[in-house]
Amino acid sequence: MSHSISEKAKTLVPIVWETAGTFLCGLIFACAELGSISSPIPVAAAACASPIGSVAVLIGAIATGMISQTLPGQMALILSLMLVSCVRVILREYHSEQFVSISSAVCVLAAGVVTVFSQNQSWEGILIHIMSAILTGTTAYFMHTVLTRLCSQKKIPLQTSMGCAAAVVYFVLIGALCSFQMSFINPGYITGIAVTLIAAQRFRYTGGVICGALTACGAMLSADDLGTSLIFLPVTGLLAGYITEMGSFITAGVFFLFNALAQLTIQTGAVTYASLGNLLLGCVAYLLLHTICLDQWIVTEQAASNRMMENMAVRMRFMAQSIGSVRADTERISQLLSHPVSNRELFVRVTSAVCKDCPGRVACWKNNAAQTYAGFQKMQERPVGAFPAELQQCVRRERLCAAFEKERKRCQLQRTRIAQKEECRQLLFDQLIAAEEMLSSFGERMTVRCSSELTDAIERRLERYGYTCDSIVAYYNDRERLMIEFYCRERQLEDCMAAICHILTEMLNLTLEELEPVGTKESVRYRLCQVPPYRLTQYSIKRCAENGNVSGDTTDLFRDGSGCAYVVLSDGMGTGKSAAVESRMTAEMFRKLISSGISYDSALRVINGLMLTKSEQEGFATLDAARFDLDSGEMTLIKSGAASTLLRLGGEVIRVCAPTFPIGAGAAADVYTQQFSLQAEDMAVILSDGILESQYPFIKELLMRSDDLTYIADEICKKAVIFGGGRCRDDVSVTVVKILENTHR
């Protein structure tokens, strides 16, 4: 029930946000103008929105007209919105850019013609409404393009035609905002100044010039005096782009000074002082907003950079396919060249050694060949000390028995060598498969979107505070979540990551969290990541087997740095220190391989091979892991010889059992995986095999009546002795995990 309620809530949230946004659009921009005509933003927004959103724009515009008592003068706008709302309700399945543009233009033109004839206006009014229809259709086209891209891909690539669409929308928006004049404050003026400075900081002189020119043109279209005061904005935006590295306060101060001098040079009077006040407010707005990170939504990377990453990914996948091809050819060749030990070969070698120069050869192999062959077969399979009746006439019994014994041992040794070679060959092929999967997974992970501008900005900020490292990489994963990696030759940032996280959180205006560092012999990688939508809370408890001081189980919780968290429980063979070594080695290797970017399939293949070849003594360990995708809430259970896992999904408890062998028990890793879609408050209980199956109904009852992880784990561990008949024959480990929504984002 809770799952269905949560899904309905998630479905309603976008509708509520769209309705509220479109209502505010109609409420604010109903009185806006662009030159001598009404602003096209309300009608364009209604045409781009859903039927509910278009009606919300209409209601907002009517509310503005009633509040300002200008409803009769807004007859053309209200009629246009009514026509657009009818079109969206009736033809809701048609929503392309072309249809939105044409339908909005036709609605504006039709409403304008009705207004002209109903109010007995001159024919010049029709020309004005024709121009308004053309402007509205154009605005609707580009607005729909931008909104569609934002909804589908959550970003606007400025290097494509999408940049032109965004520029048109910004130009019209600034023009509409500049038409509002509240005493000496102009919201369009202030917004344009702040956006120009932010663009200069983010995109250097290119952003300053383009946004400055668009702001000046939009302001001039609404008010000549206001546009004249911003005529030098492109030039000062160019200057701001060059000096932005000197700091935000210096940039804002120099920008204000040059714009103020330019305005005082060309103008005097109250308009100039009002413009200076708006200029100052725009600079203050920039200082308050410049820490906002827009890199997640606005992409300026060159297409060549993306193409290079795609080419590298293709090459890595091709390398993986090449390794797979070599492995397949080697398997076929080894099968063709393999020579299994046959009975015929044994018989030939025995007859050559014993019967070749025997006087009775003709009698045995010519006159009684079938009887002799049957006797040889019994000799080949006979127990020690028995001699077949078919060979009673043989005059070389002792030599025959010795030859058979010698050949039998040789064949057994040959079979052992073949089995050893086959096992080694299987291990080699398994490691080659792991290498293929590694390269393929690395190729898939290279589809991330790197940001050179953001990387440079982070590097400059850290250098200002005295933090240096060998390399910094900032990128967005496939869920558009920011990831920042720092590479150092030594652990020079070990005690500084908390401070760096705080500095970059303030700089980017994003909530960042620190991940566990991963080290090699030559370098260390530190990671910061944007907080994901979900988080985990976990509690583990262990109990040693009777007469034991060390638990043979190992539990671990770690993040892989790409948006997934892993909860691991490994149980070594037996109990005590030796079992603890096996389980700790398995869990630690799994954590290191996963944290290095290797998929769990490849990691298990590598661990299985290492467990088989680490020593002459037999040793294996179970692996029970749960992989949580903190972006989507999806969980993947990974089991090798592990006990059952109990899941509480909404109001239902299910048991997941996987009959597999432990890690290191065979040449190939025996792995079971299953995926589940989780919601907030869902739980998973991961158990070692010290928990008997008779205890599972009690655990199910615990999950249904309690949400306290500590209480659940402690009760399971306490009752293990009772369900075990008063004895704890094996190590007991319990890990309880709950997934929660992350409120600190």
Q: What is the pLDDT of residues 275-313, one digit of tens each?
A: 888 889 999 998 888 777 666 666 665 544 555 555 566
Q: Specify the pLDDT at position 685.
A: 92
Distance (Å, rounded) from C-alpha 148 to C-alpha 97?
Answer: 9
N-terminal to C-terminal alpha carbon distance within the chain: 27
Mind listing the pLDDT tens digit for each residue in 687-705?
Answer: 888 888 888 888 888 888 8
Averaged over 387-414, what is the pLDDT? 74
Select from 3.40.1710.10, 3.30.565.10, 3.10.350.10, 3.90.1520.10 the CATH code of 451-530: 3.90.1520.10
CA dist 4 to 9, 650, 678, Å?
9, 9, 12
| Residue 322, pLDDT score | 62
Give the type of residue at 17. Answer: W
E strands within 248-374? 298-299
Confidence of residue 483 (pLDDT cuts 50, 70, 90): confident
Q: Are strands 621-629 and 634-640 parallel, antiparallel or unpaired?
A: antiparallel
> Where does residue 384 rank: exposed (0-12), middle (13-18), buried (19+ CB within 10 A)?
exposed
Read off the amino acid at residue 437: E
Residue 236: CB atoms within 10 A of its CB come to 27
pLDDT in tens, 522-562: 788 888 988 888 989 999 988 887 666 778 888 899 888 77
Q: Which residue from 427, 429, 425 is spatially nearest to 328, judged by alpha carbons?
A: 429
Res. 357: pLDDT tops 60: yes
Give which of 380, 428, 365 is closest to 612, Cα–Cα.
428
Instruction: Pick the more confident residue, 534 or 226.
Output: 534
Question: Checking DSSP bridges between strand 683-687 and strand 732-741, what pairing results, if any?
Answer: antiparallel
CATH of domain 534-741: 3.60.40.10
pLDDT of residue 301: 55
pLDDT digits (tens, 9 = 90+) for 95-149: 888 899 999 999 988 888 888 888 776 767 788 888 888 988 998 999 988 888 8
Q: What is the mean pLDDT of the chain?
A: 79
Structure tokens at 234: 């492109």
Regarding predicted confidence, which is higher, 637 or 218?
637
pLDDT one-digit tens code per residue, 140-183: 999 988 888 877 766 777 766 777 888 888 888 988 888 887 76
3-state secondary structure of 292: coil
Q: Which residue, among 314, 313, 189, 329, has the nearest Cα to 259 in the 3D structure?
A: 189
Residue 386 pLDDT: 66
Residue whose structure tokens are 């503005």:
64
